[in-house]
Homo-oligomer: A and B are copies of this chain.
Amino acid sequence: MSVTIREVAKLSRVSETTVSLAFQKDSRITDKTRDRVFAAAKRLNYVPNSAARDLRHGATRTVGFLVNDIGNPFYASMVQVAERTARALGFQLLTVDSGWLAERETAVVEQLLQNRVRGVLLASNEKSDRGLELLRAAHTPLIAVDTCPQGFAGARVVNDLERAGELAAEHLAEMGCRRLAFLTAAESDASFSAFVALRRGFEQTAVRLTAKAQVVHAGLTVAAGQTAARTLLTQTTLPDGIFCANDLCAYGVIEAADAHGVRVGRDIAVMGIDDLETSALSRLSLTSIRQPVNALVQTAVTALIDAIEHDKQPIIKKTLQPELIARASTRAKGER
């Protein structure tokens, strides 16, 4: 197969130990020997085998990251930050994608365990509890990021999504809206804690400030928002303030509203959450809620790796505050 330490040892006329020590920059090795070893290694294109090293060490230098949908820009940027943070701390990141599916979630958790990841970042809300069970049974250090699975008592670095829901309802009420609606994820995904929290915050505040809010199962894509909004806009009493479970969905609502001749920001207020780069474009100018993704992921990865290095369970419980970014899609009545 591939070049081993043995061949490097042979070529540089030292023992395997010496080669190993040279690669670990052990101070016992002379510069001269080290150079000889490195020269041989380079000539042979030797690359250490991490499986062998890990096996010997009894531990890897890998952390896992479980996300729902890596194709979604929100998760993709989390993965990017996580990878860099982990790398800077000497760990590699193994990202797996559950695709919002229970069965795949267990499959990928199993994959992480087979790979003996030292810790796991959880940004996937469990459909089943099986994955969590497995991780717990393995005593794998765990940190929930972004949102926290229902009934999960462990460490977390999360966005205050209930507060985000409140912010949304408060803002819409303040802008003069009286018939609020929340467009959440598809029926099958709406039980995920993120959406539950958003909904709770939104509904409670809506009830307090205006009236009972309508909840509609839409989805997290432009197409889903569009479809849901089409139905909504043909109702006899249409809502005048719509909060979507993400920005993409809100784009779909805007699209449908435009098509129906309903003026966004005048007849109806629309807002989302995630604050994607495109939401700031003046043509969309979507009011959104920004989540401090970078800080979130950096904090989580750092805490996770710290726990790993100190051989303890992570205990961090941090809640980051969302920020409302008001734009033209939700203008006050007076300004209309």
Residue numbers of A with Cβ under 8 A of B are 1-2, 45, 47-52, 54-55, 58-60, 69-73, 75-77, 79-80, 83-84, 92, 94-97, 99, 110-111, 113-116, 134, 137-138, 221-222, 248, 251, 254-255, 258-259, 277-278, 280-284
Contacts and interface: CB of A to CB of B under 8 A. Distances in A.
A259 B282 contact: yes
B59 A1 contact: yes
A197 to B, nearest CB: 25
Contacts of A280: 222
A90 to B, nearest CB: 12
Contact of A52 (B49, B55, B96): B55
A247 to B, nearest CB: 10
B115 A50 contact: yes
A110 B71 contact: no
Contact of A277 (B54, B92, B116, B221): B221
Contacts of A115: 50-51, 92
Contacts of A73: 71, 73, 76
A1 to B, nearest CB: 5
Given A52-B55, A80-B71, A83-B97, A138 B281 contact: no
Given A97-B80, A281-B255, A114 B222 contact: no
Contacts of A92: 111, 115
Given A49-B116, A51-B116, A258 B278 contact: no
A198 B237 CA distance: 51
